[in-house]
A and B are shown apart, each in its own frame.
Chain A
Amino acid sequence: MQLIPCPWCGPREEAEFHYGGQAHVAYPEDPGALTDQEWARFVFFRDNPCGPFAERWSHSAGCRRWFNAVRDTRTYELLSVYRVGEPRPDASERDEVVS
């Protein structure tokens, strides 16, 4: 089973984690000003890159904290993990690579 490195607990089995979709999707500053179309775009539309993708994950069976991870959608390789509030690491700097 693939190990995912929780930024708090270290490498754990993938079964302990829940997937939370794309990371860094900012909540609209003025939700009331959005048209239905813009609101639908915020709620339902996500990137679908072929390659590195910043995602939210939750260590639901462990420390129950949300964190972010950059995952290569082609290989499933986790390129880096970082805590909520920390900036997204530069894709060229591959730190903490565990797979």
Chain B
Amino acid sequence: MTADTSVRTSPLAAWTDRLAALAPALDVAERPFLTQLTVRARDAVAVARMGEALGVAFPADPCTSTRGGGPFGDVEVLWMGPDEFLVVAGPDRRALVEDALRAAVRPARGAVVDTSAQRTTLALSGPHARDVLAHGCAIDLHPSAAPTGTCVQTLLARAGVVLRVDDAECDAFTLLVRSSFAEYLAAWLCDASVEYRAALS
């Protein structure tokens, strides 16, 4: 038997309707196929050069992220560790961004690795987004503790996630979850939202 590999299927392709049904308490949608590049570099000058190449300064502080527009469209840079970043760009930008980062890191030592398939992305917002996340995550997401741009790696319902605060005032979040955990997390989100759906109907 041969499989048609020319059609991409995102990890949560089968969950589109079930996630959409969580509105209006929770607006959840997968943002499939985003370009994700893991960047390792210690050299501050090289990191600054990569930021210039993308038009987005790399985050300087732990557990933060930056976002901006440049030659490759909207790009987010997430802090993953003291010498590690995750560059997130639009689908099908991988080759261009990867080349630009590799060119910018030289002559310093560093690594740019395509990890786009490792995780999928969920955009979360809505009046109960923070309540639902609080069911399975101990991070304080109140705007006073987690302002816009906060980006933490933590556990949500025991699944490892990257959680970014896109807009603290509007309770808008991005979740990056490993592809193999995506369906589990989607099922958990549906379950955790049940009480808020009832309250709104």
Contacts and interface: CB of A to CB of B under 8 A. Distances in A.
B20 interface: no
Contact of A63 (B138, B153, B155): B153
Given A9-B62, A13-B138, A62 B82 contact: no
Given A1-B138, A10-B63, A65 B154 contact: no
Nearest to A8: B62
Contact residues of B: prevailing secondary structure = strand
B147 to A, nearest CB: 14
Contacts of B81: 8, 63-65
A15 interface: yes
B154 A63 contact: no
A12 B62 CA distance: 13
A30 B80 CA distance: 36
Interface string A6-37: 00111011011000000000000000000000
B62 A16 contact: no
Contacts of B158: 15
Nearest to A13: B138
A65 B155 CA distance: 16
A12 B82 contact: no
Nearest to A64: B81
B154 A61 contact: yes
A9 B152 contact: yes
A15 B138 CA distance: 11
Contacts of B155: 13, 15-16, 61
Nearest to A65: B81
Given A9-B62, A13-B138, A65 B82 contact: yes
Interface in B29-79: 62-63
B143 interface: no
A21 to B, nearest CB: 22
B91 interface: no
Contact of A61 (B62, B63, B80, B160): B160
Interface string B135-174: 0001000000000000011110010100000000000000
Nearest to B138: A13
Contacts of B154: 12, 16, 61-62
Contacts of A16: 154-155
Interface of B: 62-63, 80-82, 138, 152-155, 158, 160
Interface of A: 1, 8-10, 12-13, 15-16, 61-65
23 contacts: A8-B62, A8-B63, A8-B81, A8-B82, A9-B63, A9-B152, A10-B63, A12-B154, A13-B138, A13-B155, A15-B158, A16-B154, A61-B153, A61-B154, A61-B160, A62-B153, A62-B154, A63-B62, A63-B80, A63-B153, A64-B81, A64-B153, A65-B81
